[in-house]
Amino acid sequence: MKGTILRGSLSGGLEVRLDIGENIEEIKVGTFCVVEGRSHDFFSMVVDEDIEAANPRAFYENLSDNPLLNEIVRGTGIIDKVKIQPMIAINREEGRIQPVKSIPSYLSVVREAREEDVFKIFGRPDPTHFHVGSPLDMDHIPVCIDLKKFIERSNGIFGKSGTGKTFYTRLMLCGMIKSGLCNILVFDMHSEYGWEGEDEDETRKKAKGLKQLFGSKVAIFTLDPESSRNRGVYPDFVVEIPYRSIEAEDIAMVWEELNLNPTALEVIYVLQKHLGQDWLCTFLNMDAFSIKDFAEATGSHEGAIQALQRKLFKLQKLPFIKENPADDAVERIMQYLDNGMNVVLEFGHQRSMLAYMLVANILTRRIHELYVKRTEKALGGMRENNTPLVIVIEEAHKFLSPDMSRQTIFGMIAREMRKYNVTLLVVDQRPSGIDPEVHSQLGTKIVALLTEERDIESVLSGVNNARMLRNVLASLDTKQQAIIMGHAVPMPVVIKTRTYDETFYRDITRDDDNKNWVSHTAGRLTGVSPLPKVDQEEELPPGKEFEDLMKELYGE
Amino acid sequence: MMAIGEVIESTTAEFTAEARRYDQVPAYGSFVKVRDGNILIYGIVSGAYTGSMDGVSKAKAFFKSLEELKMEQPQIFELLRTEFSCVVVGYEEAGRYHPYYPPSHPGLHLPVEEADDLEVLTISQYLNYLDKTLNDPSGNGEELTAAVIRTTARLQTDPRAYVIKVGRELLRIMNYDTQRLKSVFERVDIV
């Protein structure tokens, strides 16, 4: 692409007149170009294209029968125009990157972006800059996400069904695990991240999961050991949730799934208040007489309590909720995380929203409490700060809908947990269902094709030059193309994501010291309990002593 | 090189020359030059006129073939004269071509010669001649421009590329009026 600046404004973007002989069909919306101004290079993105005639009458002159005239008029009388949005200005003398606060002068030369330009903006691939893909039509140039910035805030991955959200998520998880900057906890609803997932590419069929790639750095937890074994996965730990850890607010969050009305929710709080920590188990075991007595004692409506009990019986059908589980899942997860491992919790056949939301909420709530306590201690100088934790949730609109986000722990994490080193990676296909307030707090968004107007609107909320990006967003391919915008990239960027194939596996598993991380042994069938095997050389993060943990979890 | 004419009328923008012989006139749209002291003034032949010597009376029709006429009435040809007009496009001084009017218009009675191919090639690299031909005072701007493009293009190594370059410049001069451009290029038969 070669051209010159024709006209434009800071707010409305710049128009570039393509040089004679340039083929506008080859220039795609979303590609990068550089405007060489007098003192600054303006790194810009193509956002629109059109055809303009210097004299509008030219459009109506039929020149198609005269190839000579046709060639003369193309590029002079009728010009191909590309609209670009300057995103970043680079002071050529100082090499300083700064936001765009001026526009390049008239007739400044516009050229395609080169590798060094892309590196200047997005950085070179290194341990903290993760190569996620390439700019459109520049397959050989890597675009990097700054992982340090990425994990600083909660992030979102959005896209219509079938546009590769799982794939992008897996890619980002690989990057984060490899960097070792944070720990990851994945609530893996469809069991796609742990051992292996479906690959829509006919030739590959199966995509390697995190365990296969990172071996001992990843632990697979499961709610459904049978499903895991059927898939040939040997989980490190089978998660069981004790009744006593289910609180009123956990039930309140799944009111829709349990079909509860507001009265029922009030009754739950009364139950918890009067029956204490074991309220749920006690309540489910109540017979008609006990219910009557309880209703009289608390002044509640007997019918309402009975109805609530019937509805809560649904919970008993969830096989992973136990009265007295052999081990505490949260404690175990924390142990693994503290040992610098990453945890993928597979749901197996328990993929109902009820199970997913309940488990995710219960576990996250307790992990959150723990992180808050630890951070407070760290502030008091009593211990070192936590390793950042990234929690991955799918179907995020269920947790973060405007009604829910204020109550659930996820809403709170999205809003303020940055301070406590816990952030979310929300994966969703209906971003419009997520509370706008949560949206505004999301640091980086990776967005695949969205066609629904409201969804586009919501992901673009709070983004500069949203109007420009709208065209780009609606013209993405359905596969392997996404736009990344926000905190971790200096400017919105459309990328063709890396292919998740053998080359990628080799790349991601290659240690910087050429030491292979992967042990290549499938997970161990550990059933319940044993401590994870940890590399001897690995330095353990502070505060992971078992005794300490117990104290943190349950107090002195 | 023998002169083909002599300047008989001169202004800054154009000059008129009388042809040495009434039937020997440079081609329409071809280049001529006039040496005036140190400078060589170049012009493009923009029109010609043949009539009676006195400029008042008109030739008479005889309805005979040209050969018969030359045999029977040879004297009538001696009474004819031909003038051709040229638009000035630039001049050369000390071996350098300047694509604009010379400091002074060509003097009268100076001999007019045809420009050679090399000179035409040099002049044709400066597209400003298009502006002068297009605004030819005789009102045949488009016709003259087409003629001069035919003349210059033939001498180029890549005539088509040259014609395209000329066309683009012309379109600009014509204020992007493609209809007018089309009317010129319908008369340029280089494809």
What pLDDT score does A555 carry?
A: 57
Q: Say whether B176 and A53 touch across the interface (CB within 8 A).
A: yes
Residue A16 is predicted with a pLDDT of: 96
pLDDT, position A407: 72
Q: Residue A63: which of B168, B178, B191 has the nearest Cβ?
A: B178
- The confidence score (pLDDT) of residue A547 equals 54
Structure tokens at A149: 């910035």
pLDDT, tens digit, for every residue of B155-166? Answer: 999 999 999 999
E runs forming strands in A2-119: 2-9, 13-18, 32-36, 40-53, 78-91, 97-99, 109-112
- Beta-carbon separation of B171 and A66 below 8 A: no
Task: Return d(Cα A241, Cα A34) in angstroms, integer.
Answer: 56
Res A193: pLDDT = 84
- ipTM of the predicted structure? 0.84
Which residues, other chains included, contact A553 with Cβ-Cβ below 8 Å and sequence gap of 6+? Answer: A328, A330, A331, A334, A366, A370
CB B171 to CB A57 under 8 A?
Answer: no
pTM (2 d.p.): 0.70
**pLDDT tens column, B5-62:** 999 999 999 999 999 999 999 999 999 999 999 999 999 999 999 998 887 888 889 9
Distance between CA atoms of residues A109 and A113, nearest Å: 12
Pairing of strands A422-428, A206-208: unpaired
The pLDDT assigned to B165 comes to: 94
Q: Which of A19, A61, A69 to mutate to test the interface with B (most CBs of B within 10 A)?
A: A69
C-alpha distances (whole Å) from B68 to each of A108, B64, B65 are 71, 6, 5
Min Cα–Cα distance to chain B from A157, Å: 49
Indicate yes or no: CB of B177 within 8 angstroms of CB of A73: no
pLDDT tens-digit readout, B11-20: 999 999 999 9
- CA atoms of A359 and A365, how far apart (whole Å): 10
B164 vs A54, A58, A71: nearest CB: A71
Task: Report the alpha-carbon distance of residue B184 to residue B143 in Å, rounded.
Answer: 7
Nearest C-alpha neighbor of A46 from the set A58, A60, A62, A35: A35
Q: What is the pLDDT of residue A80?
A: 93
Give the model's pLDDT for residue A535: 43
The answer to whether A34 and A117 are in contact (CB under 8 A) is yes
Which mean pLDDT values do the consecutive 10-residue runs of chain A (556 residues) have?
93 92 88 92 91 87 82 89 92 88 93 88 86 84 89 88 85 87 87 77 73 84 84 83 82 80 80 81 82 81 82 82 79 82 84 82 84 81 76 84 78 76 88 85 87 84 72 79 87 84 80 43 38 41 49 56
Write out pLDDT tens, residues B67-99: 999 999 899 888 899 999 999 999 999 999 999
Optimal mutation site among B127, B165, B176, interface A, most CBs of chain A within 10 A: B176
- What 3 state SS string does A214-261 have? HHHHEEEEECCHHHHHHCCCCCCEECCEEHHHCCHHHHHHCHHHHCCC
Residues in A closer than 8 angstroms to B182, CB to CB, are 61, 63, 66, 69
The stretch B125-145 carries a mean pLDDT of: 93
Confidence class of residue B142 from pLDDT cuts 50, 70 and 90? very high
Contact A393, A427 (CB under 8 A): yes
CA distance A86 to chain B (A): 30
Distances in Å between the Cα of A387 and the Cα atoms of A339, A340, A374, A378, A399 are 10, 8, 11, 12, 25
pLDDT of residue B133 exceeding 90, the answer is yes
Nearest CA in chain A to B159: A68
Looking at residue A417, its pLDDT comes to 63
